[in-house]
Structure 1
Amino acid sequence: MVFAHGFGTDQTAWKDIVPAFSDSYKIVLFDYVGANEATTPYFNPRKYKQLYAYADDILDIFEELHLKDVFFVGHSAGGMSGTLAAIQEPDWFSQLILLNASPCYLDEESYKGGFSHEVLDGLFKQMESNFHAWASGFAPMVMANTDRPQFADAFTKTLTGMRPDVALAIAKLIFHSDHRKDITKLTHKTLLVQATEDYAVPNDVGYYMEKHMPNAVLAFVETEGHLPHISDPDKVIKAIKPFLN
């Protein structure tokens, strides 16, 4: 099983999920380039302009470790990167589990992605003007679960562990991406795990993906926030296990 984190986190985001599967599967964890201080030196803005670059990195990891028949678990943009990788090299993947993933974050005339151009422009300006202030507001909003502020505090810590200019560049490539046509090409059995309340990915996105992905099934987890694997790992594990079996 390969676990791929999303924006603003690193591989430690899976610490409460992995133990549930480590007895049955070989576990592979990694940090996306730019996610933290250790990987930032490898971030080249000319290379990382689209999620395809991260998909290539995933395939490089598979090749280096000689991985086959992979159960891929990806959160948010990390999940969409894995989707692009599986389309490129379908024989390397067995099944995919996409957690709160989205092919497109922008609202269109007949598509509700969750964000308008104006909102995203404001978000990017905030990141540029005062990154740490932006992160301290963004993390609680996206994490939700206000009754358990420790989760937002932890997310703030990994978010601010990113170099501000790199974080801005990655945020732009994610929020401006549109892979609605790509997801129609994924033929693998895919589980879409969606939190019932997610500021970043509306429920409509989950329904859209289930409708347009050839072999996908949507499962809602009764929780709030964009990072349920951190805030409610037991519920996420409960959703994943029957799919694998």
Structure 2
Amino acid sequence: MYEYLVNCDLKDKRVLVVGCGFGDDALRLAKLGAKVSAFDLSPDSLQIAKALALREGLEIAFEEMPAEKMSYKDNSFDFILARDILHHVDIPNTMSEIVRVAKPDAIFLVNEIYSHSLTDKIRHSVLVEKVLYPKMRRLIYGPGKPYITEDERKLSESDLKQIMTPLQACLFTKYFNFLVTRVIPDRYETLAQLDRVLLCILHPIGHLLAGRVLFSARISKPTGSSAQ
């Protein structure tokens, strides 16, 4: 994702980070010359994000708000980034807001955890749920438990369809994490690279196997729209 962002012309572009968390992505985008706005529901996360931006000497407009009801004006942003947030929110309402605040032909970049419904059925089978997963969880996460919020779930192919409905001209779609985070911890870079190679080889069925999806598309809006 960051390789793609570095190659985008974001200087002086108005960029929105949806669900910014501690502000890592917002800081990176600001360093690329973008005029960044970012929001999150967590005041604690925003406090950390603001402190990091201050330390780096970066001007970023952080605000507290839900993705389903943004306070930004219509047609405000040239580029919108949503990383690991859409699986927490009401997708139709959030996408409606994203389209509203985006300028016509704005670019929307999504990076999300994902599981095809067929893969999900295997994951929740008795064999995997009761026997294999507890062992794999110890390998991947160690003695602790993974941090999962109550609203957290992986996006399915039907969720992706909802997200892509208001979009046009998909620029690219890439799938990641066939074995990484499922069988292999993501801390092993060499194994992660091999995992990516394996998914490239299995490209025709990559959407069935992957655990993460990255895609970019332009947002479809009437070309006559203008910022308020």
TM-score when scaled to structure 2? 0.43
Which has more strand, going by share of residues? 2
TM-score when scaled to structure 1? 0.41
Structure number with larger C-alpha Rg? 2
